[in-house]
Amino acid sequence: MRIGILGAGQLGQMMALAGYPLGNRFVFLDTSGSPSADIGTVVMDQAEQSLDQFLQQVDCVTYEFEHLPLSLVKAVEARKPLYPGSEAIRVCQNRAEEKALFTRLGIPVADYRLVSSAEELAAAAAELGGAQQIPVVAKSLTEGYDGKGQAVLRTPAEAVDAWNKIGHPELIVESFVDFVREVSMIAVRGRDAQVVFYPIAENHHSEGILRYSMAPLPDVSEQLQTVAEGYIHQLLDALDYVGVLTLELFQTRDGRLLANEMAPRVHNSGHWTQNGAVTSQFENHLRAVQGVPLGSTAPRGLTCMINIIGEHGDLSALLEIEGAHLHLYGKEERAGRKLGHVNLVADSYEELLASVERARALLPGAPEAQFSFI
């Protein structure tokens, strides 16, 4: 099957790498002007003039990036099978739509308000912050990612500065969640509505960018896993979803899970599955999209994924670590840029943490990893 991918970055690259053994071939539609997938055929389409050329070469279409013009996605969907469908993109492009869907399905979220002026932002911060003056997080409704378009307000007096800094006409304001950790739940739904779930991963960010994901975890109870699976299952069914869906959650001190956001695609917090699960998220996404049986999501050992950001560091020394698997995206070094990742696989948490520490020392700028079970 010839699969078209909207977007041509590293997620598309890794999808294609997983799809070649399945007999798939890939055509990418790049609207950014700087494709990096470096595999398969790329149709450059910054002016939205080359859709025909792209669609003629593919049997079905998926995407690796959700911040695409909805009109483009709908034009694709009108002519070729598109998985996941455009409704998933529409919802995920807007934080208010996303939160409304979570709430409608009974999936808990932090208290929030929608505001469209600095005055409304101050009022929402006062109301949500309450007498204890809990901080709030303001986020642009659309176009935000990796912590961009966001500000934390400690008091309502910071509203004007925050409003000006974000510079967006509509914001969502959320109570600041005093979480013990951030986790993600990744699941896959096939065309026949079969659903499989990966074990929950714990994620650590620095400067808004994901640094570490670990899975499976020693301190996730069966009950917590089941709750997260229930939430994502509802989302998958409500959207009649096909492919990989990622749900990012906060775990609170009293053990509850609050949904933060979702991504209608393979996700950085699922890269550990390339070496740490029987079937990777990339392969399972492609199996779902082309309507063949999904593969086992069972873990193969214990895995920590570490992103390589900005500079490569000593990659040869990194590969000396037992159980290290390197995935480079073929990108030039640049501050804050995701250049690749390393998956460290071990048989015990003790070994895994020792490998993480060795790798951290070799990766420029890598922060200390503070997993919540330590």
Summarize as ranges the residues that interact with ligand AMP (CB under 6 A).
Answer: 110, 137, 139, 144, 147, 174, 176-177, 182, 205, 248, 260-261
Residue 1 CB: number of other CB atoms within 10 A?
15
The neighbour count for residue 20, using CB atoms within 10 Å, is 12
Would you state the structure tokens that stand for residue 28, as one six-digit string?
A: 């990418």
Q: Which residue's CB is nearer to ligand AMP, number 181 or number 287?
A: 181
Strands (E), 52-194: 60-63, 112-115, 136-140, 150-153, 171-175, 179-189
Least distance between ligand AMP and beta carbon 94 (Å): 13
Residue 330 or 367: which CB sits closer to ligand AMP? 367
Find the angle CA(41)-CA(339)-CA(35) to the nearest 5 degrees. Answer: 25
Task: CB nearer to ligand AMP: give 242 or 266.
Answer: 266
Calpha distance 40→4 (Å, rounded): 10
Give the residue with the Cβ less far from ligand AMP, 135 or 301: 135
How far is the C-alpha of 66 from the C-alpha of 88, rounded, in Å? 9
In the three-class reduction of DSSP (H, G, I as helix; E, B as strand; rest coil), residue 213 is classed as strand
Give least dist CB 115 to ligand AMP, A: 15
Side-chain half-sphere exposure of 287, counting CA atoms within 13 A: 23
Q: Which CB atom, from 147 or from 169, has the smaller least distance to ligand AMP?
A: 147
Q: Give every strand in the sheet of 150-153, ordered side by side.
A: 112-115, 171-175, 136-140, 150-153
Q: How far is the CB of 215 from ligand AMP (least distance, A)?
A: 17
Q: Give CA–CA dist 16/48, Å, rounded.
A: 23
Q: How far is the CB of 312 from ligand AMP (least distance, A)?
A: 25
Of 45 and 174, CB closest to ligand AMP: 174
147-175 per-residue burial string, b: 16 or more CB within 10 A, e: under 16: eebbbebeebebbeebbeebebeebbbbb
* Complex with ligand AMP: residue 82 or 304, whichever CB lies closer: 304
Considering the complex, state which of residue 260 and residue 290 has its C-beta at the smaller distance from ligand AMP.
Answer: 260
Which one-letter DSSP state was computed for residue 50? -
Nearest distance, CB of residue 199 and ligand AMP, angstroms: 20
| Cα four-point dihedral sign 93, 99, 100, 101 | positive
> CB-wise, 114 or 315, nearer to ligand AMP?
114
Rounded CA gap, 115 and 234, in Å?
Answer: 28
- Minimum Å gap between C-beta 96 and ligand AMP is 13
Q: At closest approach, how far in Å is the CB of 137 from ligand AMP?
A: 4
Annotate 4-15 with DSSP letters as a single string: EEE--SHHHHHH
112, 175 in Cβ contact below 8 A?
A: yes
In the bound complex, what is the minimum distance in angstroms from residue 174's beta carbon to ligand AMP? 4
Minimum distance, C-beta of residue 245 to ligand AMP, in the bound complex (Å): 15
